[in-house]
Amino acid sequence: MRILICEDSVLLREGINRLLTDAGHEVVAALPDASRLDEKVAATAPDLAILDVRLPPTFTDEGIRAAIRLREAHTDLSVLVLSQYVEERYATDLIASNTSGLGYLLKDRVADVEEFLASVETVGGGGTVLDPEVVAQLLTRRQRDSRLSRLTEREAQVLGLMAEGRSNQAIARSLYISEGSVEKHISSLFTKLDLEPDTAGNRRVLAVLAHLGSHPSSRTEPS
């Protein structure tokens, strides 16, 4: 896999670089800030970008804004965001853009080499990996969402596959039903989860977050 790294800590940047290289991946660029990020992505065409949430010069939201921008400009680019702490607002902004090929991990996870490399493979393959602590913060550590009990068994299956980042077509193939049936199940579960229609298309994300909140330690695999 071709991977670009953007991390201001030289030790962490070089450490990730070494881990990925030893695992057989190609690191096409390792940047200390986002000043040349767009240029490098265009020039190297990575499959995955690993970004720190906070980057120079302000160390506020440069990384997350860059991640959202890159995902809009390069629809095939997977993004794995690393953060020192749970950044609830930033995580929400990123997840709301699209959950396919997306990861949000706390930097502590990098210390577990096997788990980190597995997350890289999952996100690079189009799957979704959200740190359990991130999910817990987003859902304010609520108990199981009672709205989920309203779903039929089939609707719950469809929602679970949505949480894996699968398209309606992929869900239909997995459950051996038509895309039209999938659309009907999704429309029904939106209603049962009290998710009103919106112009931004965020209902799918909100439904997935409700599902993840009921499985706080789960990680999704690529479709």
pLDDT tens per residue across span 127-154 = 888 887 776 666 544 445 567 778 899 9
Residues 6+ apart with CB under 8 A from 19: 110, 113, 116, 117
- The pLDDT value recorded for residue 159 is 86
- The pLDDT value recorded for residue 202 is 61
- The pLDDT value recorded for residue 199 is 45
The distance of Cα 186 from the centroid of its chain, to the nearest Å, equals: 21
- The pLDDT value recorded for residue 85 is 77
68/98 Cα distance (integer angstroms): 9
Q: Which residue segments constitute the domains of the chain, with CATH numbers given?
A: 2-138 (3.40.50.2300), 146-214 (1.10.10.10)
54/141 Cα distance (integer angstroms): 24
Residues 6+ apart with CB under 8 A from 165: 99, 100, 101, 102, 126, 127, 128, 220, 222, 223
103/131 Cα distance (integer angstroms): 8
- The pLDDT value recorded for residue 220 is 39
136/182 Cα distance (integer angstroms): 28
27/21 Cα distance (integer angstroms): 7
Series of mean pLDDT values for 10-residue runs along the chain (223 residues): 96 95 97 94 96 86 87 92 79 72 87 91 89 65 61 88 83 94 92 71 69 50 37
- The pLDDT value recorded for residue 145 is 55
> Would the CA dihedral through 138, 89, 203, 105 be positive or negative?
negative
211/155 Cα distance (integer angstroms): 11
Long-range CB contacts for residues 164-167, cutoff 8 Å, separation at least 24: 164/127, 164/128, 164/220, 164/221, 164/222, 164/223, 165/99, 165/100, 165/101, 165/102, 165/126, 165/127, 165/128, 165/220, 165/222, 165/223, 166/223, 167/223
126/165 Cα distance (integer angstroms): 8
CA-to-CA separations, 174 to 73, 121, 152, 154, 203, in angstroms, rounded: 30, 21, 17, 12, 22
pTM of the entire structure? 0.64
